Structure 1
Amino acid sequence: MTKKKKKTPMSLSSGRPPLVTKQKKSMTRTATKFLINKHHLLEKRKQQAIAKGDKAEEEKISAEIEALGGLEYYQQASLQGQRRDRGGDSSTVLMQWLYPRLAYPKTDTTEPEPLRMLEIGALSTENACSESGHFEIERIDLRSQEEGILQQDFMQRPLPTDSSEKFDILSLSLVLNFVPDAKLRGDMLRRTIEFLHQPGRYVSTPDRAHDFPSLFLVLPAPCVTNSRYLTEEHLVCIMSSLGYSQVASKTTKRLVYYLWKRDSRQQTGEQFTKKELRSGSSRNNFAIILK
């Protein structure tokens, strides 16, 4: 009997856990951190078992995940972690970067048109960007958490047919790390270009021209700071090959934040494979493959 060839996943649903539909009792900060970290570790081991074709190990790990409360409690922990009193709204960092150039003089009677934003992996309609008044936001996620968020897989979203369907900025906050395949992560980053306006759209408004069109990218810090296959320098090279230049970055213990601007350069077509950049048994295997 011939062994079936393993297929590369073509959607995000196999990687990112579904969202819960109801809020449960508030978790403590310690419980939230433990549950998220434990779930990430188990999901990593599960993906390794799937890659090896070890069905018994896959089922064993799935049982461990269920013993923790399953994906529903994982998602509840994620939502708790993003509460404002926990400092979890990543869009506050984006607004800190953008606000000085988005603000317009109170004496100016002509209010600029809102910038169009596509928020991929949206959990809430109430974040810093939503409340700033500077954006017209379209929100999508694999499982809609509330009204105002379209249930949609970004990798299956129809490509824009004209400028009216494109955006000034895309937000990928804690989304890329849930994509289960390194090549699919590269495909997702390349696909973001298709949804952004062409560079030069705001040539007559220098403040906006400085930052847009752009991509806001947030990852768990270890994906960049402790990976065998990805460093910040390597990520900059990958993004540069796609036609992005770095505008701003911030690293904390938990997260890394980046603002990338789409510039006038063409994609280089350079390939990035899974190549060890750091050695050590304590490293994780997060990678981005671009072909």
Structure 2
Amino acid sequence: MGVNRKKTTKSLSQGRPPLFKSNNASISRKAARTLIRKHHTLDKQRQQALKAGDEIAAAAASSEIEALGGLDRYQQASLLGQSKTRGGDSSKLLLEWLEPLISARRGRGGGGSESRIKMLEVGALSTANACSSSGSFDTVRIDLNSQGPGILKQDFMERPLPANTGERFDIISLSLVLNFVPDPLGRGEMLRRTTEFLHQLSPASPPELGLLPSLFLVLPSSCVLNSRYCDEARLEEIMTSFGYTKVKSKISHKLVYYLWTLDLSSASTAPPRTFPKKEVNPGPKRNNFAIVLGSGSSASRGDTGE
């Protein structure tokens, strides 16, 4: 039987699993872990089929994902994993890392709105995580499949670029988002695009303890610890090319956490570097997670519209 091939789309929405109308049924912790593992396996198969242009295999994987409850059910399981009782809320670590800055801002601003940190949370699942509950952030939350009031249904890759300084952010959170982008070039473009939404440092800016503006990046640990094409050194090379500097990091068995501060003046003035798909960690049991930058990627940002 011939394979029906079709050009792979690079839309961020194609990297996410299909939707399914949730019945809001409860789910046990054990069932949540099983569902998440199965979902990840099927979604990987679906993305591989899409890349190969095998629509039949992609549709079969999508059908199995729908049978599990689709993205709604997966997000329910993820929310259970992020609950306070499970200790899985990644924003707890971000809040811990930013505590010195939060205290300093409160001291300067007396705890008013001017002391709060403006954050864009991409892939938001909840309005009640640690950062949201702290009262220290003004947060704009977006997700492809909004889970309720307070979360805007929006694709980050289609979000309009800031028209002025007031539309920029102090920090962007990409917690378990980049790994859902369906292709390596799209992941590179997402990272590059974050620089367009962050404030730029200036001599007149108040000192922010070297923590802002910044990107909070969380990935499955296998993306940098067990990939043929990405390790921490490769990731740091890519981030540095955009003007990012790693200031905080933590590695757990399941996840890696990074805080990168942005200073575009530190980005190279030479033509933008390209980062092709290159094997950096060979081995038969490695995965194929990769981040690619093409010749069109650039960390530069003009001042028009400010």
Equivalent residue number for residue 257 of structure 1: 257
Q: Specify which of 129, 132, 136 is matched with residue 130 of structure 1.
A: 132
Equivalent residue number for residue 232 of structure 1: 232
Q: Which amino acid aligns with 1:198?
A: Q
Q: Deviations over 1:98-147 (max 9, x none)?
A: 11232149887734521211111111111111122221111111122111
Cα distance in structure 2, aligned partners of 1:260 and 1:172? 11
Moved more, 32-41 or 184-193: 32-41
Equivalent residue number for residue 303 of structure 2: none
Contact 1:121 1:173 in 2 (8 A): yes
Contact 1:18 1:142 in 2 (8 A): no
- Cα deviation for residue 22 of structure 1 reads 5.5
Q: Deviations over 1:144-188 (max 9, x none)?
A: 211111111111111111101101111111111111111011000
Could you say what the CA RMSD is over the residues aligned between the two structures, in angstroms? 2.3
Cα distance in structure 2, aligned partners of 1:78 and 1:196? 27
SS in 2 for 1:103: helix
Cα distance in structure 1, aligned partners of 2:6 and 2:36? 32
Cα distance in structure 1, aligned partners of 2:84 and 2:106? 28
Equivalent residue number for residue 186 of structure 2: 184
Contact 1:201 1:209 in 2 (8 A): no
Q: Specify which of 286, 289, 293 is matched with residue 290 of structure 1.
A: 293
Q: Which amino acid aligns with 2:199?
A: H
TM-score by length of 1: 0.90
Aligned in 2, Cα 1:198/1:278: closer, same or farther, shift over 3 Å?
same
Contact 2:216 2:259 in 1 (8 A): yes
Aligned in 2, Cα 1:286/1:202: closer, same or farther, shift over 3 Å?
farther
SS in 1 for 2:13: coil
Contact 2:5 2:53 in 1 (8 A): no
Equivalent residue number for residue 266 of structure 1: 267
Give matches, 1:103-252, under 5 Å.
Answer: 103-104=103-104, 110-111=110-111, 113-200=115-202, 203-204=205-206, 206=207, 208-252=208-252
Contact 1:119 1:171 in 2 (8 A): yes
| Identical columns (%) | 55
Gaps of 5+ in 1: none
Q: Which amino acid aligns with 2:287?
A: N
SS in 2 for 1:158: coil
SS in 2 for 1:32: helix
Aligned in 2, Cα 1:109/1:240: closer, same or farther, shift over 3 Å?
closer
Equivalent residue number for residue 73 of structure 1: 73
Cα distance in structure 2, aligned partners of 1:276 and 1:106? 46
TM-score by length of 2: 0.86
Equivalent residue number for residue 301 of structure 2: none
Moved more, 80-89 or 46-55: 46-55
Contact 1:23 1:76 in 2 (8 A): no
Q: Which amino acid aligns with 2:15?
A: G
Moved more, 187-196 or 56-65: 56-65
1:281 paired with 2:287, answer: no
Cα distance in structure 1, aligned partners of 2:21 and 2:171? 28
